Structure 1
Amino acid sequence: MALLGFLKKKKPHRACVVGLDGVPYTLVLRLAAEGVMPFLATLVKNGAAQKMKVTLPEISAVSWPSFMTGANPGVHGIFGFTELSPDYKMRFTNFTSLKCPTFWDKLGERGKRSVVINQPGTYPARPIPGALISGFVALELNKSISPIKLLATVRRANYEIDIDTQRCRKDHNQLFLELKRTTEGRRQVIDALWKEEDWDYFQAVITGTDRLQHYLMAAVEDKSHPRHGQAMEYYANIDRFIKEMWERYHASAEVSAEGEGFYLLSDHGFCLIEQEVNINAWLKQEGYLRFENDPPKGYEDITADSRAFALDPGRIYIHQKGKYPRGCVEPGAETDALIKEIGDKLRSLCYYDKNVIEMVRTRDEAYQGPEAKNGPDLVPVGNHGFDLKASLGAKEIFGRSDLTGMHTWDDAFFWSKDPQGPDLVITQLAEIVTKTI
């Protein structure tokens, strides 16, 4: 019997990460305490749930690359969902925009394999050492999968990249149907790839949490809201999902000398919206921005005397000579003075008696690295409740849409068995989640 025990195959040292897009630390603690997510409550009690800050701006297009590279945007080169070319054409960033390797690439250099499912910011999928299924913003399923031989497996699982965001934003009955259906598709793909793939690192991201909180954060926060019960049922389903992943991991992995290798995280926090704040409308009102047409057709309508403009979700660029064909602001002292002037004015912006802006970071304060030169000149961050936007056609600075939830930069969460030290930042996680492999 001793010989048989010796010959029994030892479980490998592995790591497993579950991403919950947009779930705030404060909500984790609340849902655990209220019994909505009982398994998460067990993890919180027996491990370390920590509040975490993210890179700026606090959007998935920036935060997820910061996680998967362990680098700030000044290194990985992605500053938003969009970027502006020198001819004023707006284009969307994607996986090809990333300027440095992911930690899955680095694991591959050590002969380790990763399975990564529904990872935002990885479209179009490219080969990694293992398997990758791209998440939001992915357009075509067959371009979201690497290696492509997994396409049949993914289709058999009835896997969907995302909910129909345009429909579900208006139709909340449909929202809950699609949240349930897409979560089930994730489960089926995980089941298949967990068994079929040889892996050392496994990651699955749930993005439905972000969708629910954008469209119905009021239902999440307000127990009297008619959709509150449905929202709590969804989180209870996610709790079961976390438990399933935990049990799978512990059935297949040995805890290494470096410690437990199971982790939970979000890419930013969330809170209720009081007002949406349009930065381009503010720049127009203050005389920094004008357009040839009203409403403007696009950024190509920016006039030659415009001194600044904003891209999503409010990052400000100086219309500088030499950088843009019609730029009018001289580099150097003139640019520096304008940056200070705009920053000072934004810091004093109020909605009635409430300060709108929590902080304004300059490029040098927010970013470090070879790509920092391509970042915004100013990054304003709204106080909780003030959701910054960069619509070109907006007439008013303040207003409301049908969204009820907004991102926060200082209330993301990370769970691990052991505490990871104070002042945790998302760029630290790449090293933390791979140390057990």
Structure 2
Amino acid sequence: MIVLGIDGMDPGFLEAHWSALPNLDRLRRQGEFKRLATTIPPQSPVAWSTFITGMDPGGHGIYDFIHRNPETALPYSSMSEVSDPERTLSIGPYVLPLSKGRVRSLRKGKAFWQVLSDHQVPVNIIRMPTNFPPLECEGASLSGMGTPDMRGTFGTFSFYTSQPGAAARQAPGGQIVPVAVTNHHAELRIEGPANSMRKDRARSFTTLAVDIDPAEPVARFRAGGSTLLLKEGEWSGWIGAEFPLIRGLKSAYGMFRIYAKKLKPELMIYVSPINIDPARPELPVSEPASYSRDLARALGPFYTQGMAEDTAALRQGIFTREEYLAQSRLVAAEHLRILRYGIQNFREGFLFFHFFGIDQNSHMLWGKYDRELLETYRLVDQAVGWVLEHAGDSAVVVMSDHGFAAFDRTVHLNSWLLKEGFLSLEEPGKTGNEELFAHVDWSRTQAYSLGLNGLYLNLAGRERNGIVAGAERAGVLGKIQERLTAFTDPKTGARVVDTAYRPADTFRGTELANAPDLIVGYRPGYRSSWQTALGAVPSAIVEDNTEAWIGDHCIAAHFVPGSWLSNRPGRLADPRLQDLPVTILRHYGIPPEPGMIGRPAF
């Protein structure tokens, strides 16, 4: 069996473009095409965790990209955590590890491919989201979405420029670094991971030297032992980087790509997030560890960063749309090369491959740039053609975790809670973009929002400064739900929220402790603001979305179903995401695991 997980592939977009997607059209004619009900909320970490475990969030415990610590109201990644070694030795400015650090997935439940392995079914799991670090299994797996860069983030680019005023610019998702060009030469400090062997955890770094031709728009770049020439507007290949931790004794290794955006009269150089080198991984990106090295040996280096398309660079105006699409094509070419290699070597068992390009490009193109988005769908269609060519009698499923909708208006949910009297500030005028509830008066706050869909009560005995007593919980939630569903856009009069779900009434399982008290399901066109996601309280409540990020799916689930295509007709009129792992196990004659809530599709 072969399953292609195409993140964000929208059923409505498919229906509008079958003639341009002959292999997907052929697949649906051989078997079936249906809408696939997604999770509440329809966020990728939540949806893929359901696909992996066959459980809803009440079972696997993932409710958002961002969870919060109730003791501090501080956010943290829902997918994984990295802990330092427990035993160390201090020598001067250094801290030497005497035991290993730990990287741990926060998802609960057993993955379906572990069950397959238990029954001696060979598996190859390529770029599975929320599978960092990769689970141990009798087979091979490469991690996908959730895999960090070498700085421990989901992707932090660097933009080096000699433009005046560069030091004053902020660029969330990246850093803008002023540089001086002297006699056509510049030295760029490329920052890598925080040095865990130093007490001050100063960032390790390497140097990229740039020599600009005085006559032509071309430059020589030197880093470590690598030297290359780039014309203005050209991309480099991967450049290996050594980041000394204890000079002469211990280093960390990564890799990056350069885009020579402008060489003169001002220097503008984009440096990608520092990726974990698959040939020399500092953190686990595959299982077994040799698998990423084998892929790198066969195919060359590739993006290991889970979300590799640099949407942040477009959002912050570092890339033009065409430059973003060029970078996206580089990512797609590498990842589809891995798929083709996997398909060519597929002989038996189960193969999964995840493609993220449609999701990331839909965020930046949805509703306005269909021609450019169709290009990415066509890449997937070509890949489906390769798969069908090599599949023989294998069952083939192409599915997505959710669809897409327009993101026209941005909702500051904490500001709405302030207006409705559920949240209070230390001083009424202290609204703004400061994050982490900087001016919230917790002694008078009943509810707050963090993440893209979550709303929490300031519950006594759970939150550090909680004021809502347990006996008042249902009443306060009821009031908030009622007012949310009556919430209208002050500019248009349209309803903003479709549904406010109570996890306790919606999910089943043992992992409800981290759940928000309400999950807010917006109507199409609306989404929580970036400021809300990190606990800010701006002065406005609803504003026009003026960013380059114009499509989204973090709304009420029934508006953004995923897609299901198979070369075999199914038995379900209303397939759901949790049906897939049960279907996969059933295909091999294996019963579902305890806690799986899906039905076999065939």
Q: TM-score range by the shorter chain?
A: 0.7 to 0.9
Give the CA deviation at 1:300.
7.1
Partner of 1:338: 476
- 1:240 aligned to 2:382? yes
* Cα deviation digits, residues 40-85 of structure 1 (max 9, x gap): 1122223211112211111001000011111100000111111111
Partner of 1:28: 14
Aligned mates of 1:435, 1:175 — CA distance in 2: 41
User: Quick check: 187-196 or 169-178, which moved more?
Assistant: 187-196
The one-letter code of the counterpart of 2:41 is P
The one-letter code of the counterpart of 2:341 is A
Aligned mates of 1:62, 1:385 — CA distance in 2: 21
**Structural mapping, 1:120-269, within 5 Å:** 120-140=129-149, 141=276, 142=281, 143-156=284-297, 157=299, 158-160=301-303, 161=305, 162-169=308-315, 170=317, 171-194=320-343, 200-221=349-370, 228=371, 230-250=372-392, 254-255=393-394, 261-269=395-403
* SS of the residue 1:218 aligns to: coil
Work out which of the residue numbers 405, 408, 423 in structure 1 matches 2:551. Answer: 405
Partner of 2:34: 50
Give the CA deviation at 1:353.
2.6
Q: Which has the higher strand share?
A: 2
The one-letter code of the counterpart of 1:136 is M
With a CA cutoff of 8 Å and minimum separation of 6, indicate the structure with the bigger relative contact order. Answer: 1
Give the CA deviation at 1:165.
2.6
Give the CA deviation at 1:164.
2.2
Partner of 2:55: 71
8 A contact 1:55–1:62 mirrored in 2: yes
Work out which of the residue numbers 396, 401, 419 in structure 1 matches 2:570. Answer: 419
* SS of the residue 1:320 aligns to: coil
Give the CA deviation at 1:135.
1.3
- 1:274 aligned to 2:412? no
8 A contact 1:213–1:220 mirrored in 2: no
* SS of the residue 1:426 aligns to: coil
Aligned mates of 1:49, 1:217 — CA distance in 2: 22
8 A contact 2:344–2:390 mirrored in 1: no
Aligned mates of 1:194, 1:412 — CA distance in 2: 24
Aligned mates of 2:110, 2:582 — CA distance in 1: 13
8 A contact 1:24–1:270 mirrored in 2: yes
The one-letter code of the counterpart of 1:133 is L
Give the CA deviation at 1:301.
5.6
Unpaired segments ≥5 residues, structure 2: 81-104, 150-275, 589-602
Provide the TM-score with structure 2 as the length reference. Answer: 0.64
8 A contact 2:7–2:401 mirrored in 1: yes
The one-letter code of the counterpart of 1:237 is L
Aligned mates of 2:27, 2:525 — CA distance in 1: 30
* SS of the residue 2:463 aligns to: coil
Provide the TM-score with structure 1 as the length reference. Answer: 0.87
Give the CA deviation at 1:155.
2.9
Aligned mates of 2:358, 2:500 — CA distance in 1: 28
* SS of the residue 1:91 aligns to: strand
* Cα deviation digits, residues 219-265 of structure 1 (max 9, x gap): 345xxxxxx2x332222122101111222222xxx45xxxxx21011
The one-letter code of the counterpart of 1:298 is L
Give the CA deviation at 1:179.
2.3
- 1:116 aligned to 2:125? yes
The one-letter code of the counterpart of 1:233 is E
Aligned mates of 2:34, 2:354 — CA distance in 1: 19
Identity of aligned residues (%): 20
Aligned mates of 1:104, 1:239 — CA distance in 2: 25
CA RMSD in angstroms comes to 2.1
Give the CA deviation at 1:341.
0.1
Give the CA deviation at 1:275.
1.3
* SS of the residue 1:203 aligns to: strand
8 A contact 1:130–1:199 mirrored in 2: no
- 1:381 aligned to 2:521? yes
Equivalent pairs counted in the alignment come to 405
